[in-house]
Structure 1
Amino acid sequence: MTDNRSDCGCDSARLRIGFVVDHELNAEECAEVRAHCETCAECAEELRVTATITDKVRDACAECPPEDLKARVYGAVSEKIGKPLQF
């Protein structure tokens, strides 16, 4: 079996998929990658998976920590070192 990925632009597309997902390419470059993904199932799947993972990470990072987290961390550290921390 021959690997035709470089023939169909897979190498270039795969290098740029993360940039497409993060909106870091200009419109023309983004369109090139998306057009390639419309004709290549493997790259389309990589684009889909990369977008899904990126969205999940963004969502997880968007959650606000509990308001008392800082106090709890300082309290735990103070207890461990045996003296109160100032904050």
Structure 2
Amino acid sequence: MTDCGCTKAKAELEEYLHNELASTDAADIREHIENCNDCSSELHIGVVLTEAVQRACKEVAPEQLRDQVLLSIREIQSTHTEVRVTL
């Protein structure tokens, strides 16, 4: 395998992180990351951010808060009037 270089590794880091690359491209990037501290740090940041987003998506608002938000939305919708703009 050949070193793909920082430019390619950083450009395809998101796809690499989500296993969306062809196996040869992924292998090239993996090899580069193993030997490049800068790209390795970029990968680490990507992993941490991805994990944080995944955790946040699993959180559920308390039932009372959801009820309050839905009630507020319904109140706004019930008083909403259509506004027509003519030019």
Task: Decide: shared fold, TM above 0.5.
Answer: yes
- The answer to which structure, 1 or 2, has the higher relative contact order (CA under 8 A, 6+ apart) is 2
Whether 1:76 aligns to 2:61 is no
Shift of 1:58: 1.2
Q: Could you report, residue by residue, the CA deviation over 1:8-50 in whole angstroms, capped at 9, with x for unpaired residues?
A: 6100000111111111112222111110011111011101111
Unaligned runs of 5+ in 1: 1-6
Q: Could you report, residue by residue, the CA deviation over 1:42-67 in whole angstroms, capped at 9, with x for unpaired residues?
A: 01110111111111111111223334
Give me the TM-score of the superposition, normalised by structure 2: 0.70
Q: Which moved more, 1:14-23 or 1:58-67?
A: 58-67
Structure 1 letter corresponding to 2:70: Y
Give me the TM-score of the superposition, normalised by structure 1: 0.70
> Of the candidates 17, 28, 39, which is equivalent to residue 13 of structure 2?
17
Unaligned runs of 5+ in 2: 80-87
RMSD, matched Cα: 2.3
Write 1 or 2 for the structure with the bigger share of helix: 2
Give aligned-pair identity as a percent: 32
User: Do the aligned partners of 2:4 and 2:29 also contact (CA within 8 Å) in 1?
Assistant: no
Shift of 1:81: 6.0
